[in-house]
């Protein structure tokens, strides 16, 4: 694909998860020195993307599906910028083959998600939600759900010790919990530096609380299945603020119904939301929030701003801050070239593997 000519207008489309206003986006694009025609849409399907995005030079996306057949129909697209940490809705291998740079905004909501996970842990361990419901129904009995355990006698097992997992670990330690973690990409010394002991998956899921903080990849899809749930400590709690499909929802529901687990805190489900009337909604020991862990005014504005900055970098022919498919940068198919010239690595350029 040829380079953009100096002064040529770039078409940028936000496919979904659009804000009520476009002040953040207009500020970044307006100050970029590029001529950018930016539009916001609310697309949900592959067909809608194919119908409305074929002229785009870059896409800003959240959840809309972008399989190979869609990517192949976007001949001008140089970059796909995710307004989130996860990028599992795009065929990353196809994007790389086609020379499309995929970026995310890793770390934009780290404090919020870590807080949410620990909020689940506290609510579950102290029976806060259930006791609130019983009081409001007319039952004043602090013994209703049995003895809670002192947190300083318990262990938190973390799956995925990236940015969010690390912050969750530090928060848990402040409450006196021992923390172990399973993550093949973090070595024993790195974990020890934040007071965490490195263990395998089997030991991590044998903790009193298990909190999931890994990316959704083909390797982690349904990582927490019936066999892994059977390895969890009887009476343990499962917390998921990562991606719903890391957990087999049906297997989790069955384990909870059987009384093997004491409860669960879920910000994400698979599918999302679960169908109306799904049995997981009726379980009193499950606290569910609507994929809200990331949400704060600060996080939303930071995510929007950084997503736009990644788009600008791609259109300028500069290496973005967070490239999810770094192999594309060495590909002869790379489309990322702008009026400023060919793609040139920057000092802060690419983390080989973006992590939550």
What is the predicted pLDDT for the residue at 345? 42
What is the predicted pLDDT for the residue at 8? 87
Domain with CATH 3.40.50.720 in the chain: 9-108+296-330, 110-288
Report which DSSP code applies to 327: G
Q: Which residues pair with 239 in a beta bridge?
A: 211, 265
Q: Which residues pair with 89 in a beta bridge?
A: none
182 contact partners, CB below 8 Å, separation of at least 6: 157, 158, 159, 160, 198, 199, 200, 201, 203, 204
Active site residues: 243, 272, 291
In angstroms, the first-to-last Cα distance of the chain is 33
The CATH number, out of the four listed (3.30.420.40, 3.40.50.720, 3.90.1150.10, 1.10.3720.10), of the domain defined by the range 9-108+296-330: 3.40.50.720
Which fold, 110-288? Rossmann fold (3.40.50)
Distance CA 311, CA 19 (A): 17
CA angle centred on 337, ends 331 and 338, rounded to 5°: 175
Burial of 352 (0-12, 13-18, 19+ CB in 10 A): exposed
What is the predicted pLDDT for the residue at 112? 98
**Among 315, 307, 308, 313, which Cα is nearest to 107's?**
307
Distance CA 177, CA 179 (A): 6
Strands 155-159 and 101-103: unpaired
Q: Look up residue 13 and give its two tokens.
A: 């489309």
pLDDT tens per residue across all 356 residues of the chain? 444 555 789 999 999 999 999 999 999 999 999 999 999 999 999 999 999 999 999 999 999 999 999 999 999 999 999 999 989 899 999 999 999 999 999 999 999 999 999 999 999 999 999 999 999 999 999 999 999 999 999 999 999 999 999 999 999 999 999 999 999 999 999 999 999 999 999 999 999 999 999 999 999 999 999 999 999 999 999 999 999 999 999 999 999 999 999 999 999 999 999 999 999 999 999 999 999 999 999 999 999 999 999 999 999 999 999 999 999 999 999 998 643 444 444 333 333 333 45
Find out whether the peptide bond into 273 is cis, omega within 30 degrees of 0: yes
In the sheet that holds 236-240, the strands lie side by side as 197-198, 178-182, 155-159, 209-212, 236-240, 261-266, 286-288
For residue 122, which phi and psi values (nearest 5 degrees)? -70, -45
What is the predicted pLDDT for the residue at 356? 59
């Amino acid at each position: 694909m040829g380079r953009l000519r100096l002064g040529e207008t770039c078409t940028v489309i936000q496919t979904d998860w659009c804000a009520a206003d476009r002040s953040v986006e207009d500020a970044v694009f307006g100050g970029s020195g590029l001529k950018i025609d930016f539009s916001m849409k609310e697309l949900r399907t592959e067909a809608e993307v194919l119908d409305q995005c074929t002229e785009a030079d870059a896409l800003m996306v959240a959840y809309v599906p972008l399989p190979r057949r869609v990517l192949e129909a976007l001949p001008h697209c140089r970059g796909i910028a995710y307004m989130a940490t996860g990028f599992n809705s795009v065929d990353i291998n196809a994007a790389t083959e086609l020379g499309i740079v995929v970026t995310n905004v890793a770390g934009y909501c780290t404090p919020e998600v870590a807080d949410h996970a620990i909020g689940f842990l506290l609510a579950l361990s102290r029976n806060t939600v259930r006791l609130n419901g019983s009081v409001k129904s007319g039952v004043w009995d602090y013994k209703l759900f049995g003895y809670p355990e002192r947190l300083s006698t318990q262990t938190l097992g973390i799956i995925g010790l990236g940015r969010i997992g690390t912050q969750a670990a530090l928060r848990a330690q402040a409450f006196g919990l021992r923390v172990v973690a399973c993550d093949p990409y973090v070595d024993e010394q790195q974990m020890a530096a934040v007071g965490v002991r490195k263990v395998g998956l089997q030991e991590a899921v044998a903790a009193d609380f298990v909190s999931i903080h890994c990316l959704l990849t083909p390797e982690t899809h349904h990582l927490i299945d019936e066999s892994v749930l059977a390895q969890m400590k009887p009476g343990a709690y499962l917390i998921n603020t990562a991606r719903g499909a890391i957990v087999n929802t049906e297997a989790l529901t069955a384990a909870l119904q059987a009384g093997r687990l004491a409860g669960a805190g879920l910000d994400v489900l698979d599918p999302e939301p679960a169908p109306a009337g799904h049995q997981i909604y009726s379980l009193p020991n499950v606290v569910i929030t609507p994929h809200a862990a990331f949400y704060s005014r600060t996080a939303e504005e930071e995510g929007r701003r950084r997503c736009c900055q990644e788009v600008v970098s791609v259109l300028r022919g500069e290496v973005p801050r967070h490239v999810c498919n770094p192999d594309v940068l060495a590909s002869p198919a790379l489309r990322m070239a702008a009026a400023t010239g060919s793609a040139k690595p920057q000092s802060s350029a690419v983390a080989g593997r973006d992590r939550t």
